[in-house]
Structure 1
Amino acid sequence: MEFRHLRYFLVLAEELHFGRAARRLSISQPPLSLNIQQLEASVGARLFTRNSKQVVLTAAGQAFVPAARALLEQAAQAASHARDVGQGMAGSLAIGFAGTMLYSGLPKILERFQARHPLLRLMLKELSSSEQLMELVQDRLDLGFVHTTRVPPELSEILVARQAFVCCLPAGHALARKRTLSLPQLQGEPFAVVSRTVSPDYHERIMAICTEAGFYPEIRYELRHWLSVVSLVSQGMGVALVPAALQQSAMAGTAFVPLQQATTPYDTHCLWKTSRDNPALAAFVSAVRAASTPPRGNAR
């Protein structure tokens, strides 16, 4: 049984006349009759009775009409879906992200992309930068947003955003109303940080910033998520150096004060496996490029 047989059958079932059906199909009557015979042989039942005056659907033919129509509709839908996937218009993408991306433009990127690609399903996973690298290399993520410079050679990257560090303080802290503060003013304060195992780059950056300012930070709390760090500070339990985007969290009980010293910026990179041949991934990468604020020269 071929899809051609089904199309010919349905046209003949509507016309109940070989001549009219052949004209609609732009073929002559003999090929139409042959195809109907082949279909009946495949089905194992007569689908039409015909004589010199009329063509009539048999009971088997009447029962076969909705099934044949459904088969053709399913085939058309399958072909349409395959085209959409091939053109990057449908399918799914697994996207990893570090928590600060919720305040660094990711929601806007997702909203704009989804509006243009409504058939694409975006699946988001909040993971640390190191976890994302592992998932990307092992093809369990299509794309990730990370805060690390330790990028495996098989991954491509775009510098998505660059932001300064600010000091996060309890709202009642003596330094909370300062316009700016100097890093040495934090000496002796209990620090809250994202743990070294979760974000080694950030952890090392905080150590370097403080030691360059002349003191070693007293790290009292190591947490897995940025919002956990901010939440702990809001309870008056410590201070933290955090990416400026976290000011948008607007968590009650916190104050964010810029630093007087210039520090190495906190960069966000979008990564994906260079060898992945996925039109949907290519479309998403293009959307990320368009939304990225750094100069295009930072992409490779």
Structure 2
Amino acid sequence: MELRHLRSFVVTAEELHVGRAAGRLHLTQPSLSRQIAALERDLGVELFSRVRRRLGLTPAGEIFLASAKDLVRRADQAVTDARTAERGELGTLRLRFVQSATHDALPRLLGAFRRAHPGVVLNLETMTTLRQIALLRAGEIDVGLLRLPIDEPTVATRVISRDPLVVALPAGHPLAARARLPLRALAGEPFVLYTRASGPSVHDAIVGHCVAAGFTPRIIQEAADVQTIVSLVAAGLGVSLLIAPTPPSAQDAVVYRPLTDRLPRWDLALAWPAASTAPVLVRFLAVAGEAY
């Protein structure tokens, strides 16, 4: 049973006139009649009857018409969906992101992409840079938002922001009264930091900056995510150094202060398999280029 035969049947059933149906289908009348006859042979039933030279549907034809219309509609939709997916306007985008991207970059990118391509399903999950690199290398995700530097030749990157470290202080802390702080002002303070397992480069860099400023940070608590760190700072357990932009917090709980030290900034980058030509990825990168 061929799709073109089904389409010819549906149009003929709608017109109940071979000449008009042939005109709609851009076929000759003999060609249309052969297609209807072939469909009837495939089904083993008669679909049309002629009474006093008028074309009509048989009981079997009336029952078959609803299913035939549905099959033709679904086939047309499948073609449309395939062509739309080829343009990157349908499908699924598998995106992973570091938590520090959730306060500005992620909502900006996703908002712009959703407005441009509402038909694409977003598969999202927070993930460390190291884990993202492994999945990008394996082709198991389409794009990541991660922190540079990385050393992976199969992964392409594009920097979208360069973010500073800032101090997080309990709102009632004596240093909170100052607009800016030198890093050495935190010597002797208890620290709440990222666990090294969740981000060794960030953890090691913060400790290294403190040592360069003349002290070793006294780490009394570690946490895997920034929101937990902020909650612990708000509870008065210690101070912290975080990559901006920072999560929102009530001013009577935690305050953020910039550093006077000239420290390297942290590059936030889009990353994707360098060999990928997936249409949905191409569309996302184009939207990202406009957003940044």
Q: What band does the TM-score fall into relative to the shorter chain?
A: over 0.9
Aligned residue for 2:37, secondary structure, equals: helix
Instruction: Judge which range, 23-32 or 206-215, deviates more.
Output: 23-32
Give yes or no for contact 1:18–1:29 (8 Å, CA) kept in 2: yes
Report how far residue 20 of structure 1 moved.
Answer: 2.7
Look up the match of 2:41: 41
CA contact (8 A) 1:147 1:201 kept: no
For 2:197, the equivalent position in structure 1 comes to 197
The number of equivalent residue pairs is 292
Is contact 2:227–2:247 with CA below 8 Å preserved after alignment? no
Q: Which moved more, 1:239-248 or 1:29-38?
A: 239-248
Quick one: which amino acid aligns to residue 277 of structure 2? Answer: D
Matched, 1:161 2:151: no
Find the aligned partners of 1:138 and 1:288 in 2 and give their Cα distance: 23
User: Alignment partner of 1:181: what SS?
Assistant: coil
TM-score, normalised by the number of residues in structure 2: 0.95
Specify every segment of 5 or more residues in structure 1 that has no aligned partner in the other structure, as ranges.
Answer: 293-300
**Equivalents in 2 of 1:214, 1:111: separation in Å?**
43
SS in 1 for 2:277: coil
> Which residue is equivalent to 2:287?
287
In 2: Cα distance, 1:262 partner to 1:168 partner: 18
Q: Output the amino acid matched with 1:180.
A: R
- SS of residue paired to 2:272: strand
Q: Distance in 2 between matches of 1:250 and 1:113?
A: 30
Task: Give CA deviations for 1:109-138 in whole Å, capped at 9, x if unaligned.
Answer: 111110110101112101111121122222
Q: Contact (CA 8 Å) 2:5, 2:35: kept in 1 or not? A: yes
CA distance in 1, matches of 2:10, 2:186: 81
Counterparts of 1:94-109 in structure 2, within 5 Å, are: 94-109=94-109
| Matched residue, 2:173 | 173
Letter in 2 for 1:174: P
1:17 Cα offset (Å): 2.4
For structure 2, the residue ranges without an aligned partner over 5 or more in a row are none
Mark the CA change 1:65 to 1:121 in structure 2 (over 3 Å): closer, same or farther. Answer: same
Instruction: Indicate whether 1:84 and 2:84 are aligned.
Output: yes
Q: Is the 8 A contact 2:112 2:291 kept in 1?
A: no
Which deviations, in whole Å up to 9, do the C-alpha atoms of 1:42-92 show, x marking residues without a partner? 111111123661222111101111111000000011111111110010111
Instruction: Tell me how far 1:13 sits from its aligned partner.
Output: 1.2
Say whether 1:22 aligns with 2:22. yes
Q: Is the contact made by 1:184 and 1:214 (CA closer than 8 Å) also made in structure 2?
A: yes
Asked whether the 8 Å contact 1:158–1:270 carries over to 2, the reply is yes
- Report the Cα distance in structure 1 between the residues aligned to 2:24 and 2:109, rounded to whole angstroms: 49
Q: What RMSD over aligned residues (CA atoms) do the two structures have, in Å?
A: 1.5
After the TM superposition, list the runs of 4 or more consecutive aligned residues in structure 1 that deviate by more than 4 angstroms.
Answer: 249-252
Contact 1:103-1:249 within 8 A present in 2 as well: no
Partner of 1:272: 272
Change (3 A) 1:288 1:25: closer
167-176 or 15-24, larger mean C-alpha shift:
15-24
Contact kept? 1:158, 1:289, Cα under 8 Å:
no
Q: Per-residue deviation at 1:247? A: 5.6
CA–CA distance in structure 2, aligned partners of residues 247 and 182 of structure 1 = 22
Contact 2:100 2:244 in 1 (8 A): no
Q: Say whether the 8 Å CA contact 2:168–2:257 is kept in structure 1.
A: yes
Which is further off, 225-234 or 100-109? Answer: 100-109
Distance in 1 of aligned mates of 2:251 and 2:201: 25
1:13 is aligned to 13
Distance in 2 (CA, whole Å) between partners of 1:269 and 1:220 is 31
Aligned partners of 1:194 and 1:102: how far apart in 2? 16
Aligned partner of residue 132 in structure 2, secondary structure: helix
**SS of the residue 1:210 aligns to:** helix
* One-letter identity of the residue aligned with 1:63: I
